[in-house]
């Protein structure tokens, strides 16, 4: 066990408040009492268990004191988990089967080559939303909300999967908690494919929570610069209805694929949405400049119209979000994506507490 102090970011941003028409969400999954940490803490103590490892596993999880965890496939770094980057936890870096960096390094590292220094809140892989009770958790400007890591565990399971589970609090700029979440990441590897299963349970711990109708959300990745369509190197966005590139933006789909070259080799990322996930099939805030996000709360920005409706999560209730990220070393194959989608849809998701 280790214990380290994390500074609380006090300056964050308040989103524009818009009229909403409320949809009420009442899901009954419960969280343990130990999950409910104080709502107004300005600093937090993080208690994280040592990673459980197996000598015969192809995967290894190493704890990085005060920072998070690293997941290795053999001697190669597969992914890292940072408990705080720009006011939220992120998965960074993310490497493909060939060792290629699949997400952008900026702003965690200095921008190089084709990388654009834009949208510094687009940090590799993350979960946030642009309007939560009127507070912006998507951006990281002065006055925005922060997602604060509270605790976490990591282990290697009997089926050779690295599992990371964390608990986090969503705090407004005044330090008061709006909601909490439990996150479960399952990392598995293959010769040509790596998979990260990402499951989130959001709980309204301190009153009702309204998720606003905005395009700025929610489960996102910012891909490597050479992958993006705008790089004109062969990047391609494709959804389940074969809509591509700009035509895939804002559309509902059970999956979206983003493929292209990295280090002169064709690779890709497919994000699948599970039927048990709230808002399935989700809409996609996927851009030709490399943003790749699933947004189950946004609607009006994608389809037009002035009406804005919020999703209201009643106090004590939960919303669950489930996504599978398939990272492959190959050209995009529509039939493979369809087969993967079917397999994911028929697989159950583990319980979250």
Q: Are 145 and 164 in contact (CB under 8 A)?
A: no
- For residues 111, 78, 290 and 320, what is the CA-based torsion angle, rounded to 10 degrees? -130
Enter the tokens of residue 141: 């400007």
- Between CA 65 and CA 67 the distance in angstroms is 5
Q: What pLDDT, on the 0 to 100 scale, is given for residue 18?
A: 33
Give pLDDT, residue 305: 79
Q: What is the pLDDT of residue 326?
A: 99
First CA to last CA across the chain, in angstroms?
21
**Could you report the average pLDDT of every consecutive run of 10 residues in the chain (353 residues)?**
31 36 40 32 40 69 96 96 97 97 90 71 94 96 96 95 98 98 98 97 99 97 96 98 98 99 96 98 98 97 84 98 98 98 96 91
Residue given tokens 């028929």 in the structure block: 346
Q: Residue 119 has what pLDDT?
A: 76
d(CA 332, CA 337) in angstroms, rounded, equals 8
Please name the residue that has the structure tokens 């905005």.
214
Domains detected in the chain: 43-346 (2.70.98)
Write down the pLDDT at residue 55. 59
Q: Which residues pair with 169 in a beta bridge?
A: 148, 180
pLDDT for 307 equals 66
């Amino acid at each position: 066990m280790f214990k380290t102090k994390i500074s609380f970011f006090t300056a964050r941003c308040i989103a524009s408040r818009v009229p909403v028409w409320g949809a009420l969400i009442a899901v009954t999954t419960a969280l343990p009492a130990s999950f409910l940490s104080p709502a107004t803490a300005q600093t937090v103590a993080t208690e994280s268990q040592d990673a459980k490892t197996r000598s015969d596993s192809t995967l290894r999880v190493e704890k990085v004191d005060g920072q998070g965890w690293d997941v290795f496939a053999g001697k190669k770094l597969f992914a890292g988990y940072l408990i705080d980057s720009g006011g939220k936890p992120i998965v960074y870096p993310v490497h493909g089967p060939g060792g290629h960096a699949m997400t952008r390094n900026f702003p965690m590292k200095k921008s190089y080559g084709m990388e654009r220094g834009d949208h510094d809140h687009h940090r590799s892989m993350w979960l946030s939303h642009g309007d939560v009770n009127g507070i912006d958790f998507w951006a990281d400007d002065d006055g925005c909300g922060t997602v604060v890591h509270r605790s976490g565990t990591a282990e290697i399971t009997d089926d050779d999967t690295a599992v990371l589970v964390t608990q986090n609090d969503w705090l407004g700029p005044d330090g008061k908690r709006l909601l909490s979440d439990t996150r479960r990441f399952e990392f598995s590897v293959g010769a040509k494919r790596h998979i990260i299963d990402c499951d989130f349970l959001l709980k309204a711990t301190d009153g009702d929570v309204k998720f606003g109708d905005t395009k700025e959300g929610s489960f996102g990745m910012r891909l490597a610069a050479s992958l993006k369509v705008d790089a004109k190197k062969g990047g391609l966005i494709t959804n389940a209805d074969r809509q591509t590139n700009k035509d895939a933006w804002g559309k509902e789909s059970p999956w979206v694929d983003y493929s292209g070259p990295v280090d002169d080799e064709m690779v890709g990322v497919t994000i699948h949405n599970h039927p048990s996930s709230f808002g399935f099939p989700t809409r996609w805030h996927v851009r030709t400049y490399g943003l790749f996000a699933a947004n189950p709360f946004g609607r009006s920005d994608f389809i037009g119209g002035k009406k804005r409706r919020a999703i209201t999560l009643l106090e004590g209730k939960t919303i669950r979000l489930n996504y599978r990220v398939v990272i492959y070393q190959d050209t995009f194959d529509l039939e493979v994506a369809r087969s993967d989608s079917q397999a994911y849809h028929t697989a159950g998701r583990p319980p979250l507490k």
